[in-house]
Amino acid sequence: MTAASGTDPATDNQPIKGTLQDQLKFIRTTLGDSSDLIVREMILSTGARCAVAYIEGITDSLLLYHTVISALLDLPNADSAGELSKLEPEPFVRYLSDRVLAAGDVRPLDDWNTLFFYLLSGNAILLVDGSPTALRIGVIGFEERAVSEPVSQSVTRGSMDAFNENIETGMSLLRRKIRDTRLRFDRLQVGRVTKTALAVVYLKGIAKDEIVAEVHRRLAEIDIDGILEGGYVEELIQDRTYTPFPTVFNSERPDTIAGGILEGKVAILVNGTPFVLLVPALFVEFFQAAEDYSQRFDISTLIRFIRYLSFFITTLAPALYVAISTFHQEMLPTNLLINLAAQREGVPFPAVIEAMAMEVTYEILREAGIRMPRTVGQAVSIVGTLVIGQAAVQAGIVSAAMVIIVSITAIASYVIPAGSMSMSARMLRFLFMILAASFGLLGVVIGLIGLALHLSGLRSFGVPYMSPLSPIILSDQKDTLFRAPWSLMKLRPRLVASDNNQRRET
């Protein structure tokens, strides 16, 4: 693990020195006599004075007692410890580390910066009087959420575990799926104040070295006080800030992330969030669900087409309705036209206002549904469906056709497996509605052309966002629009994986 990156102004990277009392005093004053700081001072049987400092609540105190405190207090007493008591403080510390402490992770440290970082991460710090070297003992232990079912990306078939907030748990979940010597975890910290732990995970030799290096370079460039969620990192490392489309993939499913790593992608675990980032991200990936690979390939292919269709519906349905019903009535079959005209009898607003109002209403309902306390959920859904759906139609404020359009739009947005992509679609929907209302189908088509140009120009960590569709890579089509049987997918994605791209011996 690398040393703390940001320099704490209070400690200023000074080496540890002075007597034990000075050191303890410095720790106490630096932390402002914080009430969760526990300092246990001891006089060992050799006569040496030492102290164990730790933060209550993030340290496993039982483990600390067994591995450190009881081990220290059980040192051989003075007569047999004659040799020991003659040791200088520094060799004595090494002796403790080598022979006495029964913990797995014991390492020396000699500057304040590092000391505070580990102390505040939940390590116990052992200071020995007269020694400029301290020991940190990994006895981290705190309450954490158990590994549970994924909330945002559920499947009917497939593994049911999800990452939790703890980065070590996340790493372990990945390690359990990929037991290969080439799996690498590069740990680092980001955030001047939060010093959030990050792990860059990839398969050495399968991931492209340049991409791994680029991830490291961009992560190293992050300069921010706090990283509380993966979204911070995502925004700071993506290729282009101003795009409605996500260019970094995220998932809380270990199988999805492991699948990506196997393709040669690089995962970034962020401590404190169950959502793991995956780069480079391609447009088509946001339409692929973990289940695609556990179901038969033909079914998966069909379902993928439904997802693409849903993306178009959720982006374009209201816009097309507005465009056709106010500009191009001659395109509709006559019966449908009369039906729609009958529904619009007495509706006081133009179709575009009607559409906007209903879409905004739905977005409000949706946002309320996410934020509101669960206990009032039912009340809100009754108000939503009855008042806004039925009553508005009966009162003649909106036409029934519009309610159908808004509903299908809303439902279709949830078919896209990646939430971040369906957000983009929601945003674009309004843009397209404005275009449709002012220019009809012409506006919609111009919007689509603009969108295609924008998408083709996007890159994610140097890989074209629309690949393997644009530029077209024939060998990668097996897992793009279609999902070919595994027996045919012999190669890893061309632009993502390194030259070592054989999935299997042929």
Partner 1 sequence: MTIAGLLSLSPVRLIRQLGLLALCLALLLSLTGCWNRRELDTLGIVLGLGIDKTESSYRVSVQVVDPGQVSVSRPASPGHSPVVLFRSEADTLFEALRKMTEVSPRKIYISHIRVLILGEALAREGVGKALDFLSRDSEMRTDFFLFVAKHATAESILKVFTPLSNIPAYKMYDALLTSSRAWAPSATVTLDRFIDEIVGTGIDPVLTSIEVVGDQKEGENPRNVSRISADTFIRTNGLAVFRKDRLVGYLNEEESIGYNYIRDRVRSTVTSIPCESEGRIAFENVHSKTKVKSKLLDGEPVIEVKMNSQVNLGEVLCKYPTSVPANIKKLERSLEKHRIELMESAVKRAREYRVDIFGFGHVFYHEHPGYWKKIQKDWDRRFQTLQIDYKADIQILKVGTVFDPFYKDVKE
Check if the beta carbon of residue 34 is closer than 8 Å to that of residue 50: no
Give the nearest distance from C-beta 434 to partner 1 in angstroms.
Answer: 13
Give least dist CB 330 to partner 1, A.
Answer: 4
* Dist CA 187 CA 181 (whole Å): 17
- Residue 408: Cβ within 10 Å count: 15
| Closest CB to partner 1 among residues 237, 266 | 237
Query: What is the x/- site pattern for partner 1, positions 113-142, by CB under 8 A?
Result: ------------------------------
**To the nearest whole angstrom, how small is the minimum distance from the Cβ of residue 407 to partner 1?**
17
Report the residue number, 9 or 346, with the smaller CB distance to partner 1.
346
Residue type, 166: N
Would you say 333 or 373 has its CB closer to partner 1? Answer: 333
Among residues 68, 198, 57, the alpha carbon closest in space to that of 119 is found at: 57
- The residue type at 298: D
| Residue 433 beta carbon to partner 1: minimum distance, rounded to whole angstroms | 14
Kindly state whether residue 232 participates in binding partner 1, applying the rule CB under 8 A: no
- What single-letter amino acid sits at 142? F
Q: How far is the CB of 305 from partner 1 (least distance, A)?
A: 29
CA torsion 411→412→418→423, rounded to 10°? Answer: -80
Q: Please, are residues 158 and 256 in contact by the beta-carbon 8 Å criterion?
A: no
Give the residue, chosen from 240, 381, 383, 427, that forms a contact with partner 1 under the rule CB under 8 A. Answer: 240
Query: How far from each other are the two terminal CA atoms of the chain, in whole angstroms?
Result: 39
Give the binding range for partner 1 (CB under 8 A) out of 172-180, 190-198, 257-265, 437-445: 437-445
Q: Which residues have a Cβ under 8 Å from the Cβ of 121 and sit 6 or more positions away?
A: 58, 140
190 beta partners: 196
Least distance in angstroms from the C-beta of 485 to partner 1: 39
Gap between the Cα atoms of 406 and 400, Å rounded? 10
Q: Does 400 bind partner 1 (CB under 8 A)?
A: yes
307 residue type, one letter: R
Q: What DSSP state is assigned to residue 497? A: B
Q: Which stretch binds partner 1 (CB under 8 A): 175-183, 203-211, 234-242, 262-270?
A: 234-242
- Candidates 350, 357, 431, 494; binder of partner 1 (CB under 8 A) is 350
> Collapsing DSSP states into helix, strand and coil, what is residue 121?
helix
The DSSP annotation for 61-102 comes to: HHHHIIIIIHHHHTS--TTTTHHHHTS-HHHHHHHIIIII--
Q: Which of residues 11-30 bind partner 1 (CB under 8 A)?
A: none
Number of residues that bind partner 1 (CB under 8 A): 32
Strands 196-203 and 266-270: antiparallel
Sequence-ordered list of residues with C-beta below 8 angstroms from that of 262, at least 6 positions apart, any chain: 178, 203, 206, 492
| Residues 359-388 close enough to bind partner 1 by CB under 8 A | none
The CA distance from 247 to 234, in Å, is 8
In sign, the C-alpha dihedral spanning 207, 208, 209, 211 is: negative
State how far Cα 356 lies from the chain centre: 32
Q: Minimum distance from CB of 453 to partner 1 (Å)?
A: 9
**Residue with Cβ nearer partner 1 (185 or 349):** 349
**Residue 350: CB minimum distance to partner 1, A:** 5
Report the run of H or E that residue 410 belongs to, with start and end: helix 400-413
Closer CB to partner 1, 73 or 449, in the complex: 449
- From candidates 66, 454, 459, 490, binder to partner 1 by CB under 8 A: 454
Q: Nearer to partner 1 by C-beta: 32 or 346?
A: 346
**If binding is defined by CB under 8 A, does position 440 make contact with partner 1?**
yes
Residue 234 C-beta: closest distance to partner 1, Å = 16
- Identify residues 287-346 at the interface with partner 1 (CB under 8 A): 325-330, 334, 337-346
C-alpha Rg value of the chain to the nearest Å: 30
Residue 330 or 499: the one with the smaller Cβ distance to partner 1 is 330
Quote the least distance from Cβ 242 to partner 1, whole Å.
Answer: 3
Candidate ranges 201-209, 239-247, 251-259, 276-284; the one touching partner 1 (CB under 8 A): 239-247
CB of 352 to partner 1, least distance (A): 9
Binding site for partner 1 (CB under 8 A): 240-243, 325-330, 334, 337-347, 350-351, 400, 437, 439-440, 442, 446, 454, 457
